Amino acid sequence: MNAVQYMEHWAARVEATLDQLLPAEHAAPPIIHRAMRYSTLGGGKRLRGVLAVSACAAAGGDPERALPVAAALEMIHAYSLIHDDLPCMDDADLRRGKPSCHKVFGEAMAVLAGDALLTYAFLVLGRLPLLSGAAAPTALAIIEEVAAAAGTAGLVGGQVADLEAEGRAKQLSGEELRRIHARKTGALFRASVRSGAMVGGASQEVLAALTRYGEELGLAFQITDDILDVVGDTAAMGKRAGQDQERHKATYPALYGLERARAMAQEAIERACAAVAPLNERGQVLADLVRWLGSRDR
C-alpha cells in the first residue's frame, strides 16, 4: 500500500466506526441526530482519525484499537467546523462540498449539533476500556489530552485569537500567526497523534518523537491549507476558495508570499520526517503521510 491507499483504507475504517458510534438517525429527537450525521459522515480526509490510527501502529499497537479514539477526534473536528461556519463566526455556506450545517438545519440546530458532537466524543472516550480495551488510566490520560487540545489552550483559544486578528492581518507578526494556528489546528493534530500513540502503548521516548511529528505536521498542514485557499478551486476543496483573503484573515501566503510559504511548509515536512526517522520502518507511513499532505498544493 502506498500512502494514498493507506489513507483511503483507514479513512474508510474511521468512517465506518463513526457510522457505528453515532446515534441512529431515527432515535428521538431525530432532527439532531440527522444534523450530527450530516456534518460528520460522508466527507473529509479523516486526517485526525488516520493520524491516531497510524501513530498507534507506529508505537507498536494494533491500529484497529485506535479506531474509537479516531472517531472521537473526528467528532470534535466536525463540531468545530459546524460552530466555525455559523453566521456569527465565519459565516460559511459550504463545507465538504455540501451546504454547511446551519444552512440545512437552521442556526439553533447547528449550535446544538456541535454541542452534541463534542459531548458525544467524550462519551466515546469514557467508554474506551470497553470499546478498545484501553486501561482505565490510559483512557483518562487520553480524555485529558483531547480536552486540553479542544479547550482555550487549543481549538477554542485558536478560534478566539483568529476572530480577534481578523481585519488586522497586516499588523500580525509571524510569531502571532504561528501561535494562532498552533492552537486552532495544531493542538488537535498533536492530540490525535499522541492519543493514538497512547492506545498503542508508546514509551515516553516514542511519545516524545511522535509529539514533535504531530506539531510539525500541524504547521505543514496549516501553511498548505492557506496556500490552497489562494491557488485551489472551490470544487476540489469542498469549501469556497479565496475566503481567507475576503475576510482579511492572517495567512502564511499573505504574510510571507507564496514561494516563501511553500518553502516553510517543506521545512516543516522535513522536520516531521526527521522526528519519526528513529522509529525506522514503523515511522515510514507517518513520513509518507506528511509528504503526501505537502503535495496537495501542487
Contacts with a second copy by CB under 8 A lie at 23, 27-29, 31-33, 36, 79, 83, 86, 88-89, 106-109, 111-112, 114-116, 118-120, 122-123, 125-129, 135-137, 139-141, 143-144, 147-148, 150-152, 156-157, 159-161, 163-164
Cell numbers for 48: 485526525
- The secondary structure of 174-240 as a DSSP string is HHHHHHHHIIIIIHHHHHHHHHHHHHTT--HHHHHHHHHHHHHHHHHHHHHHHHHHHHS-HHHHSS-
**Residue (145 or 244) nearer to a second copy, CB:** 145
State the minimum distance, in angstroms, from the CB of residue 285 to a second copy: 29
Pair 158, 31: CB distance under 8 Å: no
Q: What whole-number distance in Å separates Cα of residue 114 and Cα of residue 210?
A: 29
Task: Spell out the alpha helix ranges (H) of 86-185.
Answer: 101-105, 107-126, 128-132, 136-150, 155-165, 174-181
Pair 6, 288: CB distance under 8 Å: yes
**Residue (17 or 224) nearer to a second copy, CB:** 17
**Residue (124 or 276) nearer to a second copy, CB:** 124
State the minimum distance, in angstroms, from the CB of residue 191 to a second copy: 12
State the minimum distance, in angstroms, from the CB of residue 5 to a second copy: 35
State the minimum distance, in angstroms, from the CB of residue 30 to a second copy: 9
Pair 23, 38: CB distance under 8 Å: no
State the minimum distance, in angstroms, from the CB of residue 137 to a second copy: 5
State the minimum distance, in angstroms, from the CB of residue 167 to a second copy: 14
Q: Among 189, 256, 254, 176, which residue's Cα sits nearest to residue 220? A: 189
**Residue (28 or 235) nearer to a second copy, CB:** 28
**Residue (23 or 201) nearer to a second copy, CB:** 23
**Residue (161 or 202) nearer to a second copy, CB:** 161
**Residue (112 or 289) nearer to a second copy, CB:** 112
Q: List C-alpha distances in Å: 153 to 51, 145, 157, 184, 244.
A: 21, 11, 5, 9, 23
State the minimum distance, in angstroms, from the CB of residue 111 to a second copy: 6
Pair 111, 34: CB distance under 8 Å: no
250: phi then psi, degrees, rounded to nearest 5: -75, 125
